[in-house]
Structure 1
């Protein structure tokens, strides 16, 4: 059974950088069993109702500004797969998850940056999914859990975001040092993920050290894809940290495998 993944998409620059993190994601795509399709929950697609993409071929969305001009020439023309989108909609119906169908939206950089590193040929069908940061972590987990059966069919579920993502705190002049507050939060998170301690994780805002700084209320959309990806492995309840590093003082680059 294929695992689900949480992958930090970092700054858009990782799409053109060659470093420890980009090399790791590229190698991960080469070493994992090839999925039949990919379901990706991106932090950069927020919606009050769960959205499911029924798109034939995705356009590439450049939802960022002020970066290297070459970023705006990248294309990732992944195709969708209606059969799998319909299966997801059936699962949501069975599990009482309200949803809406989206037929035109392309892939934002939270999706295509990660997918392009994993599978550069854009030759695996993709079903793009929105996230709702206003739901409780338990509700987000439930949405992911309703898709757990897809893993038995070699469909890869990915949550793309960042465990520590406070753009007001990042230090673009990166000296390689990691802020202690960011590390303390991420280590607390790691401990409770490995225990599959849902009670603590669902209450991370009150229990985790520096939670309000690591996951600020205005930026929690980057954190919540973790719960969607985790829920998709509720049947296994196993979390493995595959990679963790930091850029710009506190922006986390972490990859978690669930299942």
Structure 2
């Protein structure tokens, strides 16, 4: 079975589901390049917990965790099955790595999960297991979560972190399309340079080292899925490849990354 990459996806606004734009094109193209996964593990910036948690629902409901959008968005569903056996396996792997996780049998798929998955796999016929992010435990913790699950890539499981490469909602409405916030391009350029250099240490310490870190991410939860995907690369060599999906509304950079670092099955 071919080893799948790990992915980091900037999921953007919930409206991406209705107006996919460039990110939709990029994800559709990416899906054609990947071996078909047997299952997907989705670590979303919109499931936040204090301790590791994994979704064990056999048929995860579609969560519309937003307000003030058109009814057409609330009508959308992503009826992918879950995989309770894989959830048990994930919990066991995390426990073995010193990261004990609870299984939540009721958790569904929030918009950080189902919006990009609709663009990658619109048939909704691949089982999806949601994984929580724990922002207060920091980037190194998310990296450890990814590292613990990296061997699943060799077993046909696609590991995805879903967030946003820049995410400062205070700037919503402040910039017109084509006129970007001044911090966006320096920040995404720094991230790409550090990923290409396999400089995980700098990325885990991005708050202190990255230009405009506080402006790009007033809070950490939308970048920490990147640290999960980095850990899921499985080794020092990340094999990072940036897929440019543009900048939305002048402040949301929509970068996608695939990580092809080696990860043995186990």
**TM-score normalised by length of structure 1:** 0.96
Q: 1:137 maps to which residue?
A: 139
197-206 vs 109-118, greater mean Cα deviation: 197-206
Q: Name 2:101's counterpart in structure 1.
A: 99
Structure 1 unaligned blocks of 5 or more: none
Q: Which residue of 1 aligns with 2:243?
A: 242
Aligned to 1:46: 48
Instruction: Identify the residue that residue 118 of structure 1 maps to in structure 2.
Output: 120
Distance in 1 separating the partners of 2:130 and 2:123? 17
Q: How many residues align?
A: 257
The answer (yes or no) to whether the contact 2:22–2:245 under 8 Å persists in 1 is no
- Structure 2: 5+ residue stretches without partners: 261-266
* Distance in 2, Cα, partners of 1:21 & 1:171: 20
Alignment check: 8 A CA contact 2:151 2:234 kept: no
Q: Which residue of 2 aligns with 1:37?
A: 39
The residue number in structure 2 matching 1:228 is 228
1:174, 1:247 within 8 Å by CA — same for their partners in 2? no
The two structures have a TM-score, normalised by structure 2, of: 0.93
Alignment correspondent of 1:5: 7
| Aligned twin of 2:215 | 213
Match of 1:188 in 2: 190
Within 1, Cα distance between the matches of 2:20 and 2:130?
A: 26
Aligned partners of 2:217, 2:246: CA distance in 1, in Å?
Answer: 17
- Per-residue CA deviation, residues 182-229 of structure 1 (Å, 9 max, x unaligned), is 111111111001111122111110111100000103xx2111100111
Counterpart in the other structure of 1:82? 84
More displaced stretch, 38-47 vs 238-247: 238-247
Superposition deviation, residue 173 in structure 1: 6.3
Structure 1 runs, 4 residues or longer, greater than 3 Å off: none
Distance 1:175 1:55 in 2: 40
1:199 aligns with 2:211: no
Moved more, 51-60 or 77-86: 77-86
Please tell me the root mean square deviation across aligned C-alpha atoms, in Å: 1.3
Identify the residue that residue 251 of structure 1 maps to in structure 2.
252
CA contact (8 A) 1:59 1:107 kept: yes
For residue 136 of structure 1, report the CA deviation from its aligned partner: 2.1
Distance 1:175 1:245 in 2: 11
Deviates more, 1:156-165 or 1:13-22: 13-22
The one-character-per-residue Cα deviations of 1:119-166 (angstroms, maximum 9, x if unpaired) are 111100111011011112112101110001000111000000001000
Asked whether the 8 Å contact 1:4–1:232 carries over to 2, the reply is: yes
User: How far apart, in 2, do the equivalents of 1:207 and 1:96 lie?
Assistant: 28
* Deviation for aligned residue 1:87: 1.4
